[in-house]
Amino acid sequence: MTEAAEKGKQAEIAAASASSAAADAKAKADLATLAKTNATKAVEEEKKRNGELATASNKAQQAYIKQANVEALARTAAADALAAAEGKAGNASLATASAQAEAEKAEAAAEGASHLVPILIKVQLLQTHLLDQPDEFAVAWNWVDAYLRLCGTEPALYRMLRQALMARRALILLDGIDEGGKKRTYAIMYDSKLEINRPIEPCMCCSTEQCIVDQVSVAYLDKPPFRTGMCCVCVPCTCCGPPVIFSKTPKFLCIDLTDCFGQQVWAAPANCFGLKTCGCCCAPCYQCIARPVVPGVNDAIVFMSHMKAASDAYYLKHPEIPAGERAIFEEVTDNIGIAATTKTIDGNVMNRS
């Protein structure tokens, strides 16, 4: 009986030890789960606070940092739980240090991407310097460096911008990239002709005087659009009235877009005897058969008055041109869709002295 009692007691002790070991293992597992839950809650709270502080300009960077932090903290929590269950504290510390290093690296990369120094380059001024001082650009580190020196940038500011360029932290902004050949664009009204140049820039802002292709067109006052064209080679086409040259102001609904696109000078082969879109009102019908002659004029009315004055002076010297074949000059006002009116343009007195 005594031996049986002792064996029973030993069995109870072994069972108690096994139960204690199982309870310890469960407690360790619960602690690991609690640590992971707390880490997740901390990440969510940190994410919420960062979301409230983030602005519209760095949302993408904050999202990248948050994602890196979430992954790092998740890996840290998993490593701590594994170390608590298996007793591998050394491996858990190593995993934690690695996760923190990755998070710091991602945060530093995001912060570096947000610190860019803007440098504004005016293309017309750049082209002028390229034409006047090509040797400076030939020996410079790059064109931006030469541009900053030729523009008289202060030494301290120049050194700072140069360091930003070398560190690849400069944001280059090009202003007027489509206006490099603007100074070669012109429209001149002479005594007997209209000369227009519309240059082509094949390399856009990098086009020099040698690259720009000039497109010069000439319209003489005894030929269309200043005179009626011919039908069947030798018969003047006057069946629909004399030709008309008119000005147009670009508009969107009732908004004047002159400051954006400038005014335009158009020409139609005939004025359709003044016929309107709605019979006797609204826009003139000749707008449907017109084509642009001089686009992008600052003041089309003044330019057309000089055109009319030159035409009148030319017709006085050449009375053999019939009055029915001579172009008339008009201004299309309030040209919003079909709701438009016209008025005749008076010519200025030509002064060639």
What's the pLDDT at 93?
A: 52
Low-confidence ranges of the chain (pLDDT < 70): 1-4, 7-9, 16, 18, 21, 39, 42-43, 46-47, 49-70, 72-74, 76-114, 176-183, 204-209, 233, 279, 334-353
Q: pLDDT, tens digit, for every residue of 123-156?
A: 778 878 887 888 888 888 888 999 998 888 888 8
Side chain identity at residue 302, one-letter code: V
Phi, psi for 328 (deg, rounded to 5):
-110, 155
Which ranges of 54-122 does DSSP label H, i.e. alpha helix?
59-86, 89-114
What's the pLDDT at 38?
A: 72
Q: pLDDT, tens digit, for every residue of 62-77?
A: 656 666 666 766 676 6
Contact 348, 309 (CB under 8 A): yes
What's the pLDDT at 316?
A: 93
Instruction: Kindly state the tokens that stand for 110.
Output: 């995001």
What's the pLDDT at 303?
A: 87
pTM exceeds 0.85: no
Write the CA distances from 164 to 10, 116, 125, integer angstroms.
79, 8, 22
What's the pLDDT at 207?
A: 67
Rg (CA), the chain: 41
